[in-house]
Amino acid sequence: MTAVEVLPNLEPQSSFRQKVESLSGESISACFQCMKCTNGCPLASYMDITPHKLMREIQFGLKDEVLKSRTIWICASCETCSTRCPNGIQIAHVMDTLRQIGYEENIEAAQRSVPLLHKAFLGSIKKRGRVYEGEMILAYTFKNESWAGLFKLVNFGLTMFKKGKVKIIPSGVKAKSDIKQLYKASELKG
Ligand code: SF4
Ligand code: SF4
């Protein structure tokens, strides 16, 4: 007896494509599946949905599949796809938009470590005006791996410190208040 393939239960939402197009300003409807984006993407082999398929899923309104994919978090925003698209679709910008929608709708990221690193990086800049690597790595590792992660970091941290790669006292910037204003403005926009 042959095994019966169980197909995923897909629930298309036509408004999803409109939302992504309106927020990103990109005409995803124009994609005709030439695959130039996927063929040029350096990370396509690590993605669960390749870029051209992701565009198709957005056209079909497959919101859950798109927002829960690893692809949107693996994308490095290198823009190779955007420069190759014959329809001028800024795919990297679409990826940014998808991450933003997922974040705003509290959808758990399939690559949890990526938004945690973004948060630790931006948090450090917000506090000091520029990134302080030691603080960023500690905040990221603790959120990602808890105490076990911090213990694993000890030897690595000591080596980095001895080589002068991590400073004990962080350096700041003069325009710290301007940077805080930028953060405030971007939070208001969101
Ligand atoms: S921006 Fe993202 S999807 Fe596009 S080529 Fe780079 S890694 Fe791939
Ligand atoms: S390169 Fe552009 S048109 Fe071609 S598949 Fe990718 S998004 Fe669609």
Query: 121-177: per-residue pLDDT in tens?
Result: 988 888 888 888 888 888 888 888 888 878 887 887 778 778 877 777 777 788 888
Q: What's the CA-to-centroid distance between 175 and ligand 1, angstroms? A: 33
Q: In a mutational test of the pocket of ligand 2, which residue from 24, 29, 31, 57 has the highest number of ligand atoms less than 8 Å from its CB? A: 31
pLDDT tens track for 19-61:
999 999 999 999 999 999 999 999 999 999 999 999 999 999 9
Domain ranges of the chain: 14-104, 113-189
Q: What's the CA-to-centroid distance between 57 and ligand 2, angstroms? A: 13
Contacts of 149 (CB under 8 A, 6+ apart): 141, 142
The reply to whether ligand 1 has any atom less than 6 angstroms from the CB of 43 is yes
Mean pLDDT (the chain) is: 88
Find, among 81, 91, 70, the residue nearest to 24 by Cα.
Answer: 91
